């Protein structure tokens, strides 16, 4: 390409890196003094800046010794940048972090071992960036929950992967050497893509952080609204009923028959149980939001857990003559937080009973597959409308549905389940057809760690 060479692109990228690093540092100092992710991102970009600066200062002295120093720095800088992006994808990050570290370490070793052969060196570097940027494709492009900004970065990653793949394949097939400042067309085009990504990606990263802040703010406002709604309405209702029945009994005690007295006492008991259950969920939820619940993993027996929780819910199922079927439970153990897993199972089974008609059935089963345990709770109750399913585990979903016996609820239990399953790095999903019943499944790793 006439009038354009790699040295010009390096100069352009160098200026872009300097500008963005300066902006980020000012941003950290003024707005985000404690934002560790942003600091890590700046560190990664700074390593890339150092590499470009060395290439810019010594364009005629780029030999094997300089390449062996700068390329590992470039690998590490880009790895940090991609991982910082991946943190905002909503995907499980612990495994990705290990994979990126191993990928980078193996690639650096392969590059050093092949440093005397320019062709192999180029192929190793091209393959490394194809694999590294595939994390963005997986986390952003192929992620249904990605925002528009994340999708944009994902497609930029696709272009970057294609460019590096083309460079590696061209080098391997042609057997040509492509030193850093080669004038080969494929090197120029790859350099253009590199320059565009290097300049655009920091701006997109700022937008990604901003989007995350907006989402957190929306969730915080929804959390406050949900909290005050529960206090002002859902909790006030049963307590108010309790007081009303108490006043009724106190003022008419001599006039009430034994049958009427038992009826009102039962109503008071039901109201108290509703208040207690709501307060229990509310307290657990509040503690989870403030980080007061510590993750304490231990070895758990799945059959014992399910039996323990079905026994606790025996009276609730007995009142509606609902059979709880646990015949499909498979023996086994896994590592998890006992209190959290108990809360998850108890809420899911309690909900199934709540939305199942008298004489119905709730089935609990489990599977062990690919290092995970999956627990399923299925009912033949009233089901859930398809439009409600995406809102079930969201604090701003606003769902508040009565059970088949007019049992009250707030939807807080499912939100709490999602919180605790996330602590285990697991997943939960709901499958339902209105009028036919629902299936709730959650999976957590056999060796859960928070």
pLDDT score, position 238 = 65
Q: Show the domains of the chain with their CATH numbers.
A: 6-217 (1.20.1070), 235-293 (1.10.287.130), 294-450 (3.30.565.10)
Give the distance from CA 74 to its chain's centroid: 28
β-bridge mates for residue 297, sequence order: 337
pLDDT score, position 439 = 92
The more confidently predicted of residues 333 and 177 is 333
| Model confidence pLDDT, tens digit, residues 294-315 | 778 889 999 999 998 888 788 7
pLDDT score, position 218 = 74
Q: Is the pLDDT of residue 440 over 90?
A: yes
pLDDT score, position 241 = 67
> What is the average pLDDT value for the chain, to the nearest integer?
80
Q: What is the pTM of this model?
A: 0.58
Burial label for 22, CB within 10 Å (0-12, 13-18, 19+), is: exposed
CB 47 within 8 A of CB 82: no
Q: Is 378 left (phi over 0), alpha (psi -120 to 50) or beta?
A: beta
CA nearest to 222, candidates 414, 398, 428? 398
pLDDT score, position 118 = 80
| Model confidence pLDDT, tens digit, residues 170-189 | 888 876 665 655 666 666 77
CA–CA separation, 341 vs 236, rounded Å?
A: 29
CA–CA separation, 246 vs 269, rounded Å?
A: 11
CB 129 within 8 A of CB 78: yes
Q: Is the pLDDT of residue 424 over 60?
A: yes
Over range 269-286, report the average pLDDT: 71
| Model confidence pLDDT, tens digit, residues 106-160 | 999 998 888 788 888 888 988 999 999 999 898 888 887 778 888 888 898 899 8
pLDDT score, position 365 = 92
State both tokens at 251.
């003022």
């Amino acid at each position: 390409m006439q009038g354009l060479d790699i040295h010009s692109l390096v100069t352009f990228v160098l200026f872009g890196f300097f500008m963005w690093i300066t902006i980020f540092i000012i941003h950290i100092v003024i707005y985000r003094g404690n934002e560790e992710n942003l600091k890590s991102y700046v560190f990664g970009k700074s390593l890339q800046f150092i590499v470009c600066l060395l290439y810019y200062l010594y364009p005629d002295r780029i030999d094997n010794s300089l390449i062996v120093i700068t390329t590992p720095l470039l690998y590490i800088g880009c790895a940090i940048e991609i991982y910082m992006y991946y943190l905002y994808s909503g995907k499980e990050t612990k495994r990705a972090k290990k994979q990126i570290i191993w990928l980078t370490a193996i690639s650096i070793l392969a590059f050093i071992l092949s440093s005397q052969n320019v062709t192999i060196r180029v192929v190793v570097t091209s393959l490394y960036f194809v694999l590294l940027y595939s994390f963005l494709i997986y986390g952003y492009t192929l992620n249904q929950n990605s925002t528009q900004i994340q999708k944009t970065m994902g497609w930029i990653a696709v272009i970057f992967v294609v460019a590096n793949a083309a460079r590696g394949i061209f080098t391997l097939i042609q057997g040509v050497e492509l030193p850093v400042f080669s004038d080969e067309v494929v090197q120029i085009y790859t350099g253009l893509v590199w320059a565009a990504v290097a300049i655009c990606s920091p701006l997109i990263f700022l937008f990604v952080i901003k989007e995350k802040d907006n989402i957190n703010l929306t969730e915080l406002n929804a959390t406050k609204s949900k909290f005050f709604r529960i206090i002002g309405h859902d909790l006030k209702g049963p307590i108010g009923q309790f007081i009303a029945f108490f006043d009724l009994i106190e003022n008419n005690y001599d006039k009430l028959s034994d049958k009427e007295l038992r009826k009102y006492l039962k109503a008071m008991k039901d109201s108290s149980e509703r208040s207690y259950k709501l307060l229990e969920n509310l307290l657990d939820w509040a503690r989870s939001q403030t980080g007061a619940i510590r993750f304490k993993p231990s070895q758990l027996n799945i059959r014992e857990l399910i039996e323990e929780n079905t026994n606790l819910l025996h009276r609730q199922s007995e009142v509606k003559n609902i059979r709880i079927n646990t015949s499909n439970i498979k023996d086994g153990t896994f590592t998890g937080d006992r209190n959290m897993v108990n809360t998850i199972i108890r809420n899911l089974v309690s909900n199934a009973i709540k939305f199942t008609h008298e004489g119905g059935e709730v089935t609990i089963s489990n599977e062990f597959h690919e290092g995970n345990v999956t627990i399923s709770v299925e009912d033949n109750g009233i089901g859930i409308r398809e439009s409600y399913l995406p809102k079930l585990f969201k604090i701003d979903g606003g769902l508040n549905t009565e059970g088949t016996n007019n049992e009250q609820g707030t939807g807080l239990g499912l939100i709490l389940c999602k919180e605790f399953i996330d602590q285990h790095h697991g997943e939960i999903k709901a499958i339902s057809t209105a009028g036919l019943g629902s299936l709730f499944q959650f999976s957590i790793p056999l060796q859960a760690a928070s």
